[in-house]
Structure formats: structure tokens, C-alpha cells
Amino acid sequence: TGLERVGHDGFSRMVATVRSSLEGYHCEIHSMVVEGRKCFCRLKFTGKHVGLLMGYPPTNKLVAWMGASEFTICPRTRQILKVWELGDIKTLEAQLMG
């Protein structure tokens, strides 16, 4: 998809790509479950497509897609240690195609 990244630097690059490609980028939490060191979220992502994203030139259209994330938290520092994210890329890609 062009959005898969590994490690802190990879995740930072993915976030930077999405933020530079989507004006007004927003991530809305639809539901959240916390259990021990894990946090699971169902998310909706939105933004106006203004930059190259997944190889698609800007459409200037509002795009939206759903995703799910799992966060692993360090109980001592309360920092995020690991993020695993799954997004409905097919829905996003259909909107980017025009």
C-alpha cells in the first residue's frame, strides 16, 4: 500500500506522509477497550486529499476510512511501546482513484 512502516522512524514517516497529504487530517476514536498494558481502538480517519498519497495525485476531495489499532503501553512510564494498525485501505484507495 505504500503506508506500511516499521519502527519509530517508519511510523513517524507514515504519519508525516498522511498529514502532508490530507489537509485537516482527523482521527476520531469510535470505541476503545483497555485491558492491562493493551489498548484497542476502532478509528475513523478523514481529511481533504491535497497531496500525493499511495501514489495518487491530489483530488481535493474529502476522504474517509476506518481502521483499528492496538497500542502496547509501558506501565512504568505510560509511554506507547508498540503500535499495530490495520486500515481499510481498499475504501481509501477507491476514493483516491477519483
In three-state form (DSSP H/G/I as H, E/B as E, the rest C), the secondary structure along the chain is CCCCCCHHHHHHHHHHHHHHHEEEEEEEEEEEEEECCEEEEEEEEEEEECCCECCECCCCCEEEEEEEEEEEECCCCCCEEEEEEEECHHHHHHHHCC
The pLDDT tens digits of the residues spanning 20-75 come to: 999 999 999 999 999 999 999 999 999 999 999 999 999 999 999 999 999 999 99
Higher local confidence (pLDDT), 17 or 61: 61
Global pTM value: 0.84
CA distance 96 to 81: 32
Give me the residues paired with residue 18 across strands.
none
